[in-house]
Structure 1
Amino acid sequence: MFWGFSESLDLYEEYTKTNQDETSEMNILLFGSGDPRHIIHTLAKSYRHNTKINFYVVDGCIEITARYILLICLALESEDISLKAKTHLFMDIYGNSLLRPSSYNYLASKANFLIDVITDSDYLTEKAPVFDIEALKYRERDGLEETFKFWTPKEGHVFNIKGYWETRLRQMLGSRYDYREGAFDWDLQMRLKDREAKQICCQEYRHWRETGVAFVFPEYDQSMANKSFVAGLARQGKTYKHRGYVGDISVGPFCAFGLSTSDTKMTNSFHGINDFRATDVTERNLIELFYKIHKRSEYNHSGDYERKLGAAFFKIPPHLSEAGVNLVDLEKFDKPLISTPNIKIRFLSQEEILHIHENGKFANMFDMVFVGNHYFQFLRPQFIDVCREKCLLMFETQARSILKKEEVSEFLQKIRNFAKDNKLREVTKFNLNVYYSVVKYKYCKEDASE
């Protein structure tokens, strides 16, 4: 929950690798992807082609949908925010349990903007036409509104994420809690690094496991609760009940943008010590993606933002309490989002998780489907009916996790069995020595009819 365990992909490019036929329009289903990483990556490279892409997003938690909308808005924010500031703002909200005051101000201000977006169709058309929420039930739209209201800095909107995080950590580790640094190192060295996540450095991973703050720079200090991590909101008078923090506390938000880059020098290491952290690679990749969204042109990396902190063990000061932070008046972030003429993002009702294949509503509709690893369990045999001829299906595995090797292999076998039962063609060329974060199949009706 809150982020995926696979790298961000240009889904248009993935599709064209397996389908040479030109298409003027594509429908892509994101089934429990967890975050908008694939949308942002695809959007950044959409200037290279004229294909219209319709994303259909379905998730089981309305607060995840709210966060989805927030992160896309941030990626499409006007050029009033510098490239570096936008990148660090995104990283803060995307991956840190505690925010810098400036990031908190953005979150609170954008919440007011988003309340207007989802309650006023004319305002949505004017300011954020990339979104389509018509398929959401009225109670789900009410849920979005309540979530955005919770993000605002009002009394009674309490989100003690420090306490929630520590409680979850104690429950997870049990008697190992007092020796947790050793447990963290074991999970990183013996599980994640062994599964193509070598870019994650010890210090950043250990700090994230301890505090929930993943992306750290020496000049910044996080102090304000990141309310976009809330789940299970229910209004109770003037206050709210919620489930606290129920997201991932074992892998982290490093997989989406932080494990690889076209700038190969950033993945250099010496005796297992990286020159750059996954944090630095994430910064590098997001700067490129946001530049392409802004300028609709290729990005030439200058290296101005690079800092070799992979081997550094700089002292991270204790996080300030919220009481020690003076918030300035909220700046308004209400300008229209950057235009995306070839991209539309449609949010589907939570009910579609179990019923998307029913009633023929989405029959023969999607050219591509991405299934998050937590949502594979919801697939039914009839799910394949939503796929068009030559549809590319991408299944996220559990390779980037701290599960045992046998559990990872068992989950992959379930995916392969589903593919076999539905006569899907393998696109991924399997190698027993490779941990695949995503495996790919192709749906061909002639195979299914045999």
Structure 2
Amino acid sequence: MTELDFSLGESNWWGFSPWHEFESSKNILLIGSGDIRHIILHASKQKQGKIYVLETKMDIYARQILLLNLLLSDKFEAQEKAEMYLEIYGNICVSEKSAQYIRKSAKKFDKLIGARESIQPFNFSRMKEKDMDALQNIFKRWSSESIPLDEADLCWEKRVRTLLGDRYESREGVSEGDFLQAYAPRGGAELHRKQYVNWRTTGQAFSVSNEEEAEGNSTLLLSISSKPCFSGDIVTGPFLSNGIDIKTVYSIQNEEPDVEMFTKLTIERLKSAIENIDLEKIKFSVHFLCPKYLDKKDFTSLDINSCWVGVCLTHVLQDIKLKGDMEILTETPTFILQAKYSLQLLESFQLKVEKMVEASGFQLDPENKFNKTYYLRFAK
């Protein structure tokens, strides 16, 4: 496994680009988005249509269900939803309140999925029975699991030690260097340097609660041989998804004095999006696809207007089958920090994707150029 592969991990818990508004689309296919950022923005604009979701692991589906259910709940105010969302979404350890929410929600979904009952706005009709059983087992585990803090911390430490090797004792300096030389220049300067370094060294991305950390975050920790294991990204982080301002220019002389300012801004963006969702009349539905679709690459049975593909799954575009006139949006490797950033890298990626989709009749949008752009757009 290369250093790049190890830094990304095997589980795509979050995205490598900001949320995107699909301007004219009604039905959307999201391949490898990792999280629900696009769904949140879609819902906040009170748009209609079907959102098809395709991921590599059932654990990712389970997280998406639990987090979207939180945002659509009528039991919490928008501020509380936003704070709990960020804690569960990005922190390796969570407060007792969030841990209890995970267990309580997981118990509900275990029961509903086990009985194959309807769960709005989700649709599982394109899942196989074994997929549904696997999904139920994940919720069953979450409903009773309580991971001690020291075990969760050890999961993070092991990953960082393996990645850095002899540089582990200098991990804060390595992380700061990555921020100054890669993260900020690529469009992540709104995030505070110290917040990024803290996440890289501890696994705690957002400080959102006055409550102390109580236990490990079950939704981020897989169970491998009955032991918790963190298998996600440990270099880019869960900071990009919810509307980061990519135009911010970093200057260490004029650095924001409030280390938590980015978290506050993210909460406000999420809060605004949540408040714009009409809970009385949900206009969209989320359809989960069987992971086997990744092998078949045939989506002609889906009536979709836009197809969005995460950077880690762009290989799916090779010989992809889509119906009708539509657009394809591909996430670029801009925020894969372990990839040496250059215009040549981006041009190489662009040519690679162009070659993949040309057989299906798609061409690059001539207006879509690399200039703080994190998507490529192709259309027929």
* 8 Å Cα contact 2:152/2:215 also seen in 1: no
- Measure, in 1, the Cα distance between the counterparts of 2:365 and 2:160: 39
Residues 54 and 180 of structure 1, relative CA distance in 2, 3 Å threshold:
same
Alignment equivalent of 1:208, drawn from 199, 209, 219: 199
Counterpart pick for 2:230 among 239, 245, 267: 245
Contact 1:258 1:281 in 2 (8 A): no
Q: Does 1:388 align with 2:317?
A: no
Residue of structure 2 equivalent to 1:404: 340
What is the number of residues matched between the two proteins? 364
Superposed CA deviations along residues 322-357 of structure 1, whole A, max 9, x for unmatched, are xxxxxxxxxxxxxxxx45442111111010111131
Cα shift readout 1:224-248 (whole Å, capped 9, x = no counterpart): 10000134x57xxxxx636711100
TM-score, scaled relative to structure 1:
0.74
* Identical-residue share of aligned pairs (%): 24
Report the aligned-residue RMSD. Answer: 2.7
1:371 is displaced (CA, Å) by 0.3
1:196 is the counterpart of 2:187: yes
Q: Distance in 2 between matches of 1:157 and 1:97?
A: 11
Check the 8 A contact 2:19/2:243 in 1, yes or no.
no
Q: For the Cα contact (< 8 Å) 2:317–2:356, is it kept in 1?
A: no
Which of residues 148, 160, 166 in structure 1 aligns to 2:157?
166
Matched residue, 1:289: 273
* 3-state SS of 2:351 partner: helix
Letter in 2 for 1:92: E
Write out per-residue CA displacement over residues 191-217 of structure 1, whole angstroms, 9 at most, x where no aligned residue: 011111111111110110011110014
- Give the Cα–Cα distance (whole angstroms) in 1 for the partners of residues 81 and 53 of structure 2: 24
Return closer, same or farther for 1:162/1:175 CA change in 2, 3 Å cut-off.
same
Cα distance, 1:426–1:367 mapped onto 2, change above 3 Å: same
| Deviation of 1:83 (Å) | 1.7
CA distance in 2, matches of 1:67, 1:184: 27
Aligned residue number for residue 59 of structure 1: 55
Larger Rg: 1
Matches within 5 A, 1:245-264: 245-257=230-242, 259-260=244-245
Aligned residue among 346, 349, 354 for 2:290: 349
8 Å Cα contact 2:58/2:134 also seen in 1: yes
Provide the C-alpha distance between the structure 2 equivalents of 1:339 and 1:168, rounded to a whole number of angstroms.
43
Indicate conservation of the 8 Å contact 1:3/1:253, yes or no. Answer: yes
CA contact (8 A) 2:190 2:250 kept: no
Q: How does 1:8-157 map to 2 (within 5 A)?
A: 8-11=19-22, 13=23, 15=24, 26-46=26-46, 52-78=48-74, 80-122=75-117, 124=118, 128-154=119-145
2: CA distance between counterparts of 1:85 and 1:114?
21
| CA-CA distance at 1:164 after TM superposition | 1.3
Q: Indicate the SS of the match to 1:109.
A: helix
Aligned to 1:108, the other structure's residue is in SS state helix
Asked whether the equivalents of residues 354 and 379 of structure 1 are also in contact (C-alpha less than 8 Å), the reply is: no
**What amino acid is aligned across from residue 340 of structure 2 in structure 1?**
K
Q: Distance in 2 between matches of 1:42 and 1:408?
A: 31
Q: Distance in 2 between matches of 1:154 and 1:192?
A: 35
Query: Match of 1:130, as an amino acid?
Result: P
Tell me: CA distance 1:187–1:287, structure 2 relative to 1, closer, same or farther (3 Å): same
Note if contact 1:268-1:275 (Cα within 8 Å) is conserved in structure 2.
no
Separation in 2, partners of 1:82, 1:155: 26
CA distance in 2, matches of 1:136, 1:213: 33
- 1:98–1:222 CA contact under 8 A, matched in 2: yes
